């Protein structure tokens, strides 16, 4: 049974909902990323989390710009998916055992969040284009590009040394 009943009468309604979901997801990540950075033992991984935190703050500002562009106040709609992803990531943060293996687990958890964000920004960008708001699509595209680059950087860290050290 759904806790919330949404009503979408047009693509704009769905677009606004997607923006609210992303806005909430990004805010949740600003709370989770410092914990992940603290838990990481690889200096490169620690740095990647810290850099992504800075990017996440920029992405929040961009979402606020998009909200202003559609004459909406920035508003959060609980992102249930990110709640679950962060909950799983918290398991990695508090995991006991080999630090190198935990680092590999932190990358895995972070990439789940990245993939969710990539899907969300890609969808929002597509909706903006369909609504004739290429200006907003360009703003969202910047965040989509950053999320993709972060995902690639995490893969590179995993494949270059983190997974090898964990093995």
- pLDDT tens figures, 68-125: 999 999 999 999 999 999 999 999 999 999 999 999 999 999 999 999 999 999 999 9
Planar angle of CA 41, 47, 48, nearest 5 degrees: 105
pLDDT tens profile 9-52: 999 999 999 999 999 999 999 999 999 999 999 999 999 999 99
The pLDDT mean for the chain works out to 95
**pLDDT in the model for residue 4:** 59
Is a pLDDT exceeding 80 seen at residue 5?
no
**What pLDDT score does 1 carry?**
42
Share of the chain above pLDDT 70, in %: 98
CA-to-CA distance for 140 and 103, rounded, in angstroms? 30
Residue 76 has φ and ψ, to the nearest 5°, of -100, 140
Structural domains of the chain ordered from first start = 11-70+79-166 (1.20.1260.10)
pLDDT of residue 3 exceeding 60, the answer is no
Question: CB 120: neighbour CB atoms within 10 A?
Answer: 23
Instruction: Give the mean pLDDT of 140-147.
Output: 98
Q: Note whether 127 and 14 are within 8 A (CB).
A: yes
The model's pTM is 0.93
């Amino acid at each position: 049974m759904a806790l919330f009943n949404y009503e979408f009468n047009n693509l704009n309604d769905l677009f606004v909902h997607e923006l609210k979901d992303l806005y909430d997801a990004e805010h949740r990540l600003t709370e989770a990323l410092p914990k992940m950075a603290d838990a990481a033992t690889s200096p490169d991984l620690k740095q990647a989390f810290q850099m992504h935190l800075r990017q996440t703050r920029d992405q929040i500002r961009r979402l606020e710009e998009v909200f202003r562009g559609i004459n909406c106040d920035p508003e959060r709609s609980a992102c249930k998916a990110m709640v679950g992803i962060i909950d799983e990531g918290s398991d990695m943060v508090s995991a006991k055992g080999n630090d190198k293996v935990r680092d590999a687990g932190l990358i895995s958890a972070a990439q789940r969040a990245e993939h969710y964000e990539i899907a969300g920004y890609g969808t929002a960008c597509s909706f903006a284009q369909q609504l004739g708001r290429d200006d907003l699509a360009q703003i969202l595209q910047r965040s989509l590009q950053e999320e993709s680059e972060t995902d690639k950087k995490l893969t590179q860290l995993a494949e270059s040394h983190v997974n090898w050290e964990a093995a």
